Amino acid sequence: MAGTGAGRTRLFISGIAEMAAILALVAMSRTVVAQPFYVSSGSMQPTLQIGDELLAAKYAYGYSRYSLPFALGPASEDRLFGRMPQYGDVVLFHLPRNVAEVYVKRVIGLPGDRVGMRDGQLWINGKRLPLRPDGSGQVEGEGGDHSAASRLVETLPNGREHPVFKLTWSGELDNTDEYTVPAGHLFMLGDNRDDSLDSRVPAEQGGVGFVPLENLVGRASIVLGSWDFPIMRQPFWTWPTGLRLSRFFSSIS
């Protein structure tokens, strides 16, 4: 009987060790390789949809304390194996005024850039960025409502193009001051320009403000899956129709 008890103890300890190894592997992969993120707002439409599940490549810009679980580690302006993001990258980052929140936006301004909006158009370093019509689209609200919007394609200083939605050309954030991006920081915008809380609103006014490089989580690289969440208000047997299969495993640009 004693041998049986010892065997059970060894099996129990072995099971605990295997579970610990699995948890350590998961924690390591989330720290070093990639981290999932659920899109709960429409600020990045049409590029990202409410209900998208993203995967952020954490190695893209190197590592900081925010690459670790619970942001364990010392504060530092430098990132381990750090690389500067490029214009147009879609990035996950910890909100500077509340690091418990993670946002997803597009990199628009790099350190030293002068960025501002005039009559709804983006200016960088004294030059208006090209913006061409690309039809129209539907902006989805968080309550599932939709409204028509102009779809346009914006060309960034490095030649990279991306879509934006515009509802109006005289909105609250269509004319701003010219902001100079400090060293070690980035300027972020949402592609849904009239419904995005981003770097156009300073942190002290409840906005995003400039984002320190330290706060970056990673580059949003792929949509793992997508589901039209408001369909849950319908009978449960209709829920599978909310799957946006065309967005599964699609790349983000």
Instruction: List, by residue number, the catalytic residues.
Output: 43, 105
The answer to whether the beta carbons of residues 63 and 76 sit under 8 Å apart is: no
Question: Among candidates 185, 29, 13, 27, which has minimal Cα distance to 110?
Answer: 185
How crowded is residue 151: how many other Cβ atoms within 10 Å of its Cβ? 19
**Cβ contacts of 76 within 8 Å, gap of 6 or more:** 64, 65, 214
Cis peptide before 182 (omega within 30 of 0): no
Question: Among candidates 101, 84, 83, which has minimal Cα distance to 92?
Answer: 101
* Burial label, 228 (beta-carbon count in 10 A; 0-12, 13-18, 19+): middle
The answer to whether the beta carbons of residues 231 and 238 sit under 8 Å apart is: yes
